[in-house]
Every structure is written in C-alpha cells, then in structure tokens.
C-alpha cells in the first residue's frame, strides 16, 4: 500500500496531524508572511508571524473566501467573523462562497 505524503509546517516542521493548518489568506497577505520556499504553515506559526509582521491583527478581510476556510467546527470563517464588525463587501465575497449561484 502506498503511503500518503506527511504534511508538515514549513516553519516549525510539526505534523499537521498534531497542529491545525493555517487558514488560506489572500495572496497579498500570504506574501507578507512567508518566505519564498514556504508553501504550508500551521496556525500557530502563521499567527505568530502575523502578530510580528503585520500592522493590524489578522481579520476576516485577510482570509481568502474559499471552501477550505469553511471546513471544521468551528471553521476559520466562523472564528474570524465572531471577532467583530466587517465591511459589507467582505461579507458579500463570503456569501458568494457560502451560497453559490446555481449554474445555468
């Protein structure tokens, strides 16, 4: 039987079976937090870097509106949404992921 690749954080090298994977961020935000060879971070490493390198706490506007950020209970969307008020345009982007338009 073929073994599946073990996913690890590119920063701390912890198995993502032991620590949660970081949320997916917009490319411009992700690019500020990772090095050129880094493709995958755990949540603790991502949040530590965001606190150190960004001029604001990570918020819902920084998350990429995608189904990955909707997985789990609670999901990244729910956690960030609970942090406070959000711009209507940000919520509209998420609505299009949560309630996609039917295809014709």
Going from N- to C-terminal start, the domains of the chain cover: 27-98
Per the structure block, which two tokens stand in for 34? Answer: 């990772």
> pLDDT tens digits, residue range 47-66?
999 999 999 999 999 999 99
Contacts of residue 74, Cβ cutoff 8 Å, sequence gap at least 6: none
> pLDDT tens digits, residue range 8-52?
999 999 999 899 999 999 999 999 999 999 999 999 999 999 999
pLDDT band at 2 (very low <50, low <70, confident <90, very high): very low
Indicate the SS3 state at residue 59.
coil
Indicate the SS3 state at residue 63.
strand
Per the structure block, which two tokens stand in for 23? Answer: 């949320």
pLDDT of the residue at 98: 86
pTM, to two decimals: 0.84
Distance from chain centroid for Cα 100: 20
More confident call, 67 vs 101: 67
pLDDT band at 104 (very low <50, low <70, confident <90, very high): low
Per the structure block, which two tokens stand in for 76? Answer: 């990244």
How many angstroms separate the CA atoms of 76 and 82, rounded?
Answer: 10
């Amino acid at each position: 039987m073929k073994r599946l690749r073990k996913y690890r954080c590119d920063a701390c090298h912890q198995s993502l079976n032991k620590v949660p994977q970081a949320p997916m961020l917009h490319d411009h935000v992700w690019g500020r937090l990772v090095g050129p060879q880094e493709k995958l971070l755990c949540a603790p490493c991502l949040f530590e870097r965001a606190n150190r390198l960004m001029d604001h706490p990570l918020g819902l506007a920084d998350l990429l509106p995608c189904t990955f950020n909707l997985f789990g209970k609670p999901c990244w969307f729910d956690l960030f949404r609970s942090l406070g008020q959000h711009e209507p345009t940000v919520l509209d982007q998420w609505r299009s992921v949560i309630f996609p338009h039917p295809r014709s």
